[in-house]
Amino acid sequence: MVSQIDVPGRYWWAVAVGWVVLGAISDLDRAWLTTAATLASGAVHSAIAPRVVTGRHRSDRLSVRAEVAAPHIGGLVIGALVVIAGVTVVVALLLDADGAGHPTTAAGVVVATVIVLGGPLLMTRLRERAARVGS
């Protein structure tokens, strides 16, 4: 069952696409729109994340028991998202200082790539750790 601990791949893609869209909206320089989009994104994520970031629902066909999936997986996923939010800000500021035309969109694309590649890698490491602890 440890091999089934995972976050659905579509979650990483949805977060990555949302990250780029929020960056593009931010580059429009409309504070009200950026605020509304950020709140909407946060609301959608808070509705979906509790089910998918636990690692217990890799697919709709199978659910891993809570005892098998480490209880801190959700916290690690959310923590990783907080860290990459900080990375987004730093990359956007660096690009803006360099004169990039759309620094937040570009930073969003960089971070979206990290999300799509790094999210599954994080889950692989957590599965490996769960297998070691469980054996």
pLDDT digits (tens, 9 = 90+) for 114-135: 999 988 888 788 777 767 766 5
Query: Model pTM?
Result: 0.79
Is the CB of residue 116 less than 8 Å from the CB of residue 28?
no
Rg (CA), the chain: 17
Q: What is the DSSP code (8-state) at residue 127?
A: H
Considering the chain, what is the average pLDDT of its residues? 82
Residue for token digits 């320089």?
A: 29
pLDDT at 98: 93
Task: Give the tokens for residue 104.
Answer: 């937040």
CA distance 112 to 132: 30
Secondary structure element (H or E) that encloses residue 95, with its range: helix 73-97
pLDDT digits (tens, 9 = 90+) for 40-86: 999 998 888 777 766 555 555 545 555 555 566 777 778 888 899 99
CA distances from 82 to 29, 61, 75 (A): 23, 30, 10
CA distances from 75 to 54, 65, 109 (A): 8, 17, 24
